[in-house]
Amino acid sequence: MDGSCKTCQPNSGWNGTTCVCLAGFVSINNVCSQCPPNTVSNGASCVCASGFFNVSGNCQQQPPNTYYDGTAFVCNNFYVLVNGVCTPCPPNAKWNGSSCVCPKGFNFFNGQCIKCPARSKWTGTECKCNQKNQFIINNNCSECPPNSAWGGESCICINGYYPSGGFCLSCGPNSFWNGISCTC
């Protein structure tokens, strides 16, 4: 040095010749600024840290079971995107070179190959029985027994009737079903 004092800007230090940014900082418009999260300084600029990729200007960590195609993360072969996560193809699916494919008669939904029971059709989100008054019960299209109605997941006895052995029976005269037994 020439005997005069040199003052470096914040986040920088003297290297014997000039002021340089400290580790983890980079000069942006002659100001030493800290690199954003998930980045490191390469001496001249901030770059994505190891295991992180520049996706639309942000350094994002590579999710499991993916590869980076230069612009986005893509599921590896034999994996399919389900609810934002790359998951393996379902056991009964085949890999066609670019995606999981369900066998004939099966429908891909929510990461699974689903087969609708006989006398039903796929709606795009579920199997529905072809006949209006039938519902899928134990993987078959069936009607609810007499004196019952479909409750969304199972058949439910209507008021005045109680379940017994898969049937809906009525209580005797002057009695009603209290949820446990017939009561006078």
Place of tokens 């369900």: 102
| Structural domain total, the chain | 2
Within-domain flag for 152: yes
pLDDT tens digit sequence for 113-159:
989 999 999 998 888 888 877 888 778 888 888 888 888 777 888 88
**Residue 97: which pLDDT band, with cuts at 50, 70 and 90?**
confident
Is pLDDT above 50 for 48?
Answer: yes
Residues 21, 26, 32, 36: is their CA dihedral positive or negative? negative
- Per-residue confidence (pLDDT) for residue 72, from 0 to 100: 87
CA–CA gap between residue 135 and residue 91 (Å, rounded): 27
Q: What is the mean pLDDT of residues 161-170?
A: 82
Q: What is the mean pLDDT of residues 60-75?
A: 90
- Per-residue confidence (pLDDT) for residue 52, from 0 to 100: 92
Residue type present at position 26: V
Place of tokens 């980045």: 39
Q: How far is CA 14 from CA 1, 5, 10, 20, in A?
A: 11, 11, 11, 6
Q: What is the mean pLDDT of residues 20-41?
A: 85
Within-domain flag for 23: yes
107 contacts: CB under 8 Å, gap ≥ 6 = 113, 114, 115, 116, 122
Mean pLDDT for all residues in the chain: 85
Within-domain flag for 116: no
**Residue 76: which pLDDT band, with cuts at 50, 70 and 90?**
very high
Q: Is this model's pTM higher than 0.75 or not?
A: no
CA–CA gap between residue 69 and residue 79 (Å, rounded): 15
Taking the CA atoms of the chain, what radius of gyration do you get in angstroms? Answer: 33
Structural domain harbouring 38: 1-49
Within-domain flag for 36: yes
**Residue 21: which pLDDT band, with cuts at 50, 70 and 90?**
confident
Within-domain flag for 88: no
Which of 32, 49, 66 is a domain's end point?
49
Instruction: Specify whether the CB–CB gap between 40 and 49 falls below 8 A.
Output: yes
Within-domain flag for 12: yes
CA–CA gap between residue 168 and residue 165 (Å, rounded): 8
Within-domain flag for 41: yes
Within-domain flag for 159: yes
